[in-house]
Structure 1
Amino acid sequence: MTETSCGAPLARHRSGLKWQEWLVGQALPLWAQAGFNRATSLFHERLTFSAAPQAVSALRLMVQARQIATYCRAAAEGLYGDGEDALRCLATIERLYHRRVGEAGWIFSISPSLEALDTKRDLYAHAFIIYAYHWAFRLSGDVAYYRKARETLLDVRLIFADAGDGLRGISPGEDVVRGQDPIMHLFEACLMWMPYAEHPDFQNQADQLARLALTRLIDPSTGMIREYFDASWRPLQIEGQNRIEPGHVFEWSWLLRHYARLKRDAALRRPIEDAAARLFEAGQRFGLKDGGVVDAISETGVPLLRSIRIWPQTEYYRLLADLRHDASQGTSERAKIESSMQDVTDLFFSRFTTGIVGGGWIDRIREDGSGCVDHMPASSLYHIYGAATAR
């Protein structure tokens, strides 16, 4: 357990107990039962608010990988189940998505009848396959999962090769617009593997992506992370008109803090920690409205989307929980953090989880408080798990 500046263990904040109780008692059972198709050993993409599977035209690799990772992690951390369904799903997607068209990597999606559908390769999905293999390894101890994760990383370098430290987002195709999101999740997956990997591949890739973030992705004037870039990793729009998603600002801050902790050299840690701190401060200054994290703003804080989605709230909460344990926080700063944690908790349980099946959620809410969608996407559970287990 992390210690405070006084050396005494810092107990978990009371709001965290509510999150974990809901996660373990309602959300994980819901998606393990109603959300899992035992006939195919695949997870459903989405459920209705009454917990019935909702028909979709495509089953995306990314969704399967996120659910596999979540349930392997839950089993590995002793919170829910034994992970057998998740491992069975992992074996199934290896057969249905991996090298399905005879080329390196994993295809994007299959049809409900399990035929290859969208055969492009997507960096975002590959990042989550590497992440899923990490938690399968953590659960089972089977080194075959490490070998498969490393093989996928080597495929990533081949399929999505780009100039400099960046990677293309799709293949085949000339994606002239680059996005930070797949870069962020590949960075996350590599961070998870770094303490366990026998080879330096994951360390090297994480270092390369961190350099890209610090030199290209983060706006030096505001400290926030931009969303979209041209093929040379220059901001896509003129200054002041680029899209910022505050949820990603907080997510990058958490990831960079985690990355800095893996660095033994204090001189190497300092610029990473400084960037993480600026991200948090900028996100709080520009990205919050009425205690909630808004969907999108410009670099100057002008709202681009006034709706709020569930996942940015979870990323904000996870970061707050991490900051609360920071020994450099004084009493007043920690009190502010704890107050913000309670605000996010109140928002989450009062607006995102009420009026629907237990363990379910409304993914996006309009500015007037009404819901924007008629279903629950499985992909949100990965974010929710991170917040609900934050210490």
Structure 2
Amino acid sequence: MNTSVLAPLRPQVEAFLSSALPLWFGEGLDEGQGMFVEALSFDGQSLRGLPRRARVQARQLYVLGLAYERGEFVGSAQQHAELMERVMESVTRSYGALGGGFHTLVGAEGQVLDSARVLYDQAFYLMALAWLYRVTGKVSYREEAEELWGFIETLRDPRNGGFQLSDAPESLPRQQNPHMHLFEACLLCAELLGKVPWLARADELYTLFQTRFLDTTTGPQPFLREFFTADWQPDPATGDHLDPGHHYEWTWLLGRYRTLGGAAAPELPLLYNTACAWGTDRDGLAYDEMLTGGRELRPTKRLWVQCEVLKGHLAYAHWSGDAQALERARHVLGNILSQYLTPQGTWADQLSRDHRNISENSPSSTLYHLYVALNEALPALAATP
């Protein structure tokens, strides 16, 4: 397979990253609070007054960990590691909950605004702790990840399987998305902390994906459901609402699962083919939300979705050797670079159907999607044309 098809885009990717990383870990860091801001303006100014979601802090730590792995340090390697530890200490003070886990939202001054401990957020803190262990080598971070899993176990639904959305009174509909990120977290922990016990935990979530999330019986095209009743039946109101981005994201995750020694994951091409058939426009960009059968629900296009599209194409190309998937990856990456990203290192977070920027600012949470996607593209970007 000729991976050099993406190589001409390498200078643009490198130029963006050379602007983005110093910006988001400079202006994007509130030194006084020791944590990251929720968003920047399009011209790169810090929006410090916005409330700060727990997941943003964990995702930025993830990016810092991956940047360390790639040798893209904020300052020296030691300064980079010290920054990660300093932020984690601040985040634990502001978001850490008695009894384990992390609250979901604090104010700009560090006060708790929403004390719920949300499964989605805990998954990203597992990943942050795994990266902290990788960067520092300190056993305490591996132990903290295991302690956090202990809290996650308190959210388990022993009757129906899977986990509750949070420690707050159960809200419906149930969702696959937090379980997907918990699966992602278990895979990263298996890679960075050791396969035992993390791969077995990933196996359990993969089984839930097979038996609850993936619908292979309704019509000719298998698809990933998002919303469910308490006993994992399709939610009456939203059970037909589908997310093309999650189809691509699961494609990438199943590729990682196979590599780490999980099951053969034969669902990978099924999800990929559905994602390509439903929910993309003629530029190869995916819509935010569809209905079963490929009918439009929300024809807007978030940047994070396109990052998952890119990762899905690359994962499928790696799995199958399909040159068309690599050409699709080139097309999507080109459109991300030309339609979403700015020279300042910020981005338009959402486009309208006709590709106008309709976002108010550049949210910090998107950097995780973007940086991971670009990292996945690096081998092909480095190939000689």
Q: 2:290 aligns with which of 277, 286, 297?
A: 297
Instruction: State the partner residue of 2:332.
Output: 344
Once the two structures are TM-superposed, the CA of residue 164 in structure 1 deviates from its matched residue by 4.0
Instruction: State the partner residue of 2:383.
Output: none
Once the two structures are TM-superposed, the CA of residue 23 in structure 1 deviates from its matched residue by 4.5
Instruction: State the partner residue of 1:69.
Output: 62
TM-score by length of 1: 0.88
Unaligned runs of 5+ in 1: none
Instruction: State the partner residue of 1:244.
Output: 242
Is the alpha carbon distance of 1:118 and 1:160 closer, same or farther for their aligned partners in structure 2, counting shifts above 3 Å?
Answer: farther
Cα distance per residue 1:221-247 (max 9 Å; x no partner): 432211111111111138x96111100
Answer yes or no: is 1:379 the counterpart of 2:362.
no
Is the alpha carbon distance of 1:162 and 1:53 closer, same or farther for their aligned partners in structure 2, counting shifts above 3 Å?
Answer: farther
Moved beyond 4 Å, runs of 4+: 9-12
Instruction: State the partner residue of 2:34.
Output: 41
**What percentage of residue pairs aligned between the two structures are identical?**
27
Superposition pairs of residues 233-382 of structure 1, within 5 angstroms = 233-237=232-236, 242-263=240-261, 268-269=263-264, 272=265, 274-290=266-282, 291-326=284-319, 328-329=320-321, 333-334=322-323, 336-354=324-342, 358-382=344-368
Superposition pairs of residues 69-88 of structure 1, within 5 angstroms = 69-81=62-74, 82=77, 83=80, 84-88=82-86
Instruction: State the partner residue of 1:165.
Output: 161
- Contact map agreement 1:241 1:298 (CA 8 A) in 2: no
Instruction: State the partner residue of 2:103.
Output: 107
Q: 2-side partners of 1:60 and 1:388: how far apart?
A: 24
Structure 1 SS opposite 2:200:
helix
Structure 2 SS opposite 1:159:
coil
TM-score by length of 2: 0.90
- Contact map agreement 2:39 2:361 (CA 8 A) in 1: yes
Q: 2-side partners of 1:109 and 1:286: how far apart?
A: 34
Once the two structures are TM-superposed, the CA of residue 361 in structure 1 deviates from its matched residue by 0.3
Amino acid at match of 1:225: L
Amino acid at match of 2:142: Y
Once the two structures are TM-superposed, the CA of residue 165 in structure 1 deviates from its matched residue by 3.3
- Contact map agreement 1:67 1:86 (CA 8 A) in 2: no
Once the two structures are TM-superposed, the CA of residue 96 in structure 1 deviates from its matched residue by 1.6
Structure 2 SS opposite 1:389:
helix
Q: 2-side partners of 1:12 and 1:389: how far apart?
A: 16
Q: 1-side partners of 2:90 and 2:18: how far apart?
A: 27
Instruction: State the partner residue of 2:196.
Output: 200
Is the alpha carbon distance of 1:374 and 1:196 closer, same or farther for their aligned partners in structure 2, counting shifts above 3 Å?
Answer: closer
Cα distance per residue 1:40-73 (max 9 Å; x no partner): 1110100111211224442111100000111122
Q: 2:148 aligns with which of 139, 143, 152?
A: 152
Structure 2 SS opposite 1:171:
coil
- Contact map agreement 2:9 2:334 (CA 8 A) in 1: no
Is the alpha carbon distance of 1:16 and 1:134 closer, same or farther for their aligned partners in structure 2, counting shifts above 3 Å?
Answer: farther
Once the two structures are TM-superposed, the CA of residue 79 in structure 1 deviates from its matched residue by 2.3
Structure 2 SS opposite 1:114:
coil
Q: 2-side partners of 1:119 and 1:40: how far apart?
A: 19
Once the two structures are TM-superposed, the CA of residue 252 in structure 1 deviates from its matched residue by 0.6
Q: CA RMSD in A?
A: 2.1
Amino acid at match of 1:237: P
Once the two structures are TM-superposed, the CA of residue 86 in structure 1 deviates from its matched residue by 2.4
Q: 1-side partners of 2:143 and 2:195: how far apart?
A: 10
